[in-house]
Amino acid sequence: MSIAEPFTIEQFYKFLTTNQLMAGKCVKCGKIHLPPRPLCNNCFSKEFTWIPISPKGTLVTYTIIEVAPERFQALAPYAVGIIELENGLKIPGIIQNITQEQLKIGMTLTLNFGTASPPQTWPLWSRYHFKP
């Protein structure tokens, strides 16, 4: 980990494939960006530092996807949730290894690092999954 790594979605996924959930923290105003972005939307600074984020979070809301986009058809039906991590950071993700009956708002979920794969456009598809 170094400050020299670019603050891009590609780098975010590179960290995920090495089992690290990393966010970009603005050096100027301290705002934490997850996913990272090259320009702070709070103070317009371009100076960031990488900080590790715990992969454990809380399920805030979820939707059951019955009709999936083509690339996810094999998974359907599946749940997509918004997971709140430390520092109030929220990210979307597919939830696996759980039945619809077991899904509960407020339950603890952990990012399943093994599921991260090469990036697509954020936030259209989250290329990582959560599990209980």
Can you give the binding site for Zn ion, defined by CB under 5 A? 26, 28-29, 31, 40, 42-43, 45
Taking the least distance from each CB to Zn ion, the nearer of 39 and 75 is 39
In the complex, minimum distance from the CB of residue 25 to Zn ion, in angstroms, rounded to a whole number? 9
In the complex, minimum distance from the CB of residue 87 to Zn ion, in angstroms, rounded to a whole number? 14
Taking the least distance from each CB to Zn ion, the nearer of 1 and 29 is 29
Question: Which residues sit opposite 24 in a β-bridge?
Answer: 33, 50
DSSP E strand stretches across 3-123: 22-26, 32-33, 48-52, 56-65, 78-84, 90-95, 108-112
Among residues 6, 5, 1, the alpha carbon closest in space to that of 38 is found at 6
In the complex, minimum distance from the CB of residue 48 to Zn ion, in angstroms, rounded to a whole number? 8
Taking the least distance from each CB to Zn ion, the nearer of 48 and 128 is 48
Residues in the chain, overall count: 132
In the complex, minimum distance from the CB of residue 41 to Zn ion, in angstroms, rounded to a whole number? 8
Cα gap 118→132, rounded to integer Å: 23
Taking the least distance from each CB to Zn ion, the nearer of 41 and 73 is 41
